[in-house]
Amino acid sequence: MSEQHPAAPGAAAEPRPEEPGPPAARHPGRVRRKRRPGAGRRRAWLLTAPAVVVMLAVSGYPVGYGVWLSLQRYDLRFPAQRGFVGLDNYAAVLSAPVFWNDLAATAVITVIAVGLELVLGLGIALILRRRLAGRRALNAALLLPYGIITVVAAFAWQYLATPSLSFLTDRAWLGERWSSFAVIIATEVWKATPLVALLLLAGLAAVPEELMETARLDGASGWQRLGGVLLPAIRPVLLVVLLYRTLDTVRVFDTVFIQTNGANGTETVSLLAYNQLAGRLNLGLGSAVSMLLFLLAAAIAVGFVWVFRADLRELSRGPG
């Protein structure tokens, strides 16, 4: 699931106070009915409650049950042996070398892919910002990777990297570890960079033009303007995009599942969890792996928000 919503990390954003309506005085002679605060609150809850209740039911319950499963010996091939084992599954996972290998593979993919996405995304955002001829074509072309489902992107790149099919290469890229990583990372970067570029472009658009003009008059070069004016100005947006992409990539599954299915040391933590759950039907161990993945994502999110709390607060105030 790599189409998680980019807006989500904007969570740091506090709800903005409502815009005051036009003063009633603008319509003399007409009296604006004043809402009783109690009735308004009840109405607000009636509107919100169904969504919140359904969300808790469809997410909260399975999550809680998943935690419970992770504390049990529960292998569907030996259902009679089911029983509560405390943290044994976690101990088993954390002492298994395969978990650490998979964590390393996940880290390699995440760090390189997200780094490339940010650098290339920024470059594309700067191109789009120039409003050159061909901008419309570029905009439309950028939506191609975004609009394509992950499985199809994975197949397209796999077939580009398969020597018996590809017009580009005679090398079996998916035959060994690091070149497999290269294909997986290329697929992830291809799929995600357009959205990163659009988000950064939206951030750049909020940078006041006078700021750039002043820097230009002061004799700052293009690179100096980028490093001295643009990057600091879009720092909060960069951070949100960085967090969103990191959280989305640590759970990378689709691309790896299609292209290597974990061969040659490319198995990721999500794939390990899947193999335990769906392949070996070991719900206890598999749930423990899943929960560790969740804890990793949560730790990244909390740590990130804490380290950059000042920047994120600035974002919640909004540009200008």
Partner 1 sequence: MRRAGWYAGTVAVLVVAVLPVLWIVSLSLKSPATITDKRLWPVEPTLENYRSIFGSALFTRALLNSVGIGLITTVLAVGLATPAAYALARLRFRGKALVLPLTLAVAVFPPMALVGSLFDLWRALGLYDTWPGLVIPYLSFALPLAMWTLTAFFRGLPWEMEEAAQADGATPWQAFRRVLVPLARPGVLTAAILVFFFAWNDVVFAISLTSSDRSRTVPAALAFFPGDEQFAQPVGSIAAAAVVVTVPVLVATLVFQRRLVAGLTAGVVRP
- Using the contact rule CB under 8 A, the part of the chain among 19-27, 85-93, 95-103, 211-219 near partner 1 is 19-27
Neighbours of 200 (CB within 10 A): 24
Residue 274, token pair as written in the block: 């899947």
The C-alpha atoms of residue 226 and residue 232 are separated, in whole angstroms, by 9
**Count residues contacting partner 1 (CB under 8 A)?**
117
Q: Which residues contact 258 (CB under 8 A, 6 or more apart)?
A: 151, 154, 155, 158
The sign of the CA dihedral 200, 205, 210, 213 is positive
Counting Cα atoms < 13 Å in the Cβ hemisphere of 20 gives: 3
69 near partner 1, judged by CB under 8 A: yes
Name residues whose C-beta falls within 8 Å of residue 193's C-beta, 6 or more positions apart in sequence. Answer: 116, 117, 120, 121, 124, 145
Q: Is 59 in the site for partner 1 (CB under 8 A)?
A: yes
Q: Which of 308, 132, 298, 157 is nearest to 236 (CA)?
A: 308
Does residue 94 bind partner 1 (CB under 8 A)? Answer: no
102-141: which residues touch partner 1 (CB under 8 A)? Answer: 123-124, 127, 130, 132, 134, 137-141
- Please report how close the Cβ of residue 19 comes to partner 1 at its closest, in angstroms: 6
Question: Considering only residues 167-226, where is the footprint of partner 1 by CB under 8 A?
Answer: 167, 174, 190, 194-195, 198-199, 202-203, 205-206, 222
Scanning 98-106, 107-115, 149-157, 210-218 for contacts with partner 1 by CB under 8 A, the matching segment is 149-157
283 Cβ neighbours under 8 A, 6+ residues apart: 69, 72, 74, 75, 76, 277
| Residues 233-252 within binding reach of partner 1 (CB under 8 A) | 237, 240-241, 247, 250-251
Among 107, 228, 297, 311, indicate the residue that binds partner 1 (CB under 8 A).
297
User: Interface with partner 1 includes 80 (CB under 8 A)?
Assistant: no
How far apart are alpha carbons 289 and 308 in whole angstroms? 29
Distance CA 293, CA 240 (A): 20
- Given 41, 171, 280, 309, the residue binding partner 1 (CB under 8 A): 41
Nearer to partner 1, 9 or 308 (CB): 9
Q: Does 278 bind partner 1 (CB under 8 A)?
A: yes
Q: According to CB under 8 A, which one of 1, 91, 94, 307 is a site residue for partner 1? A: 1
Q: What's the min distance (Å) between Cβ of 149 and partner 1?
A: 5
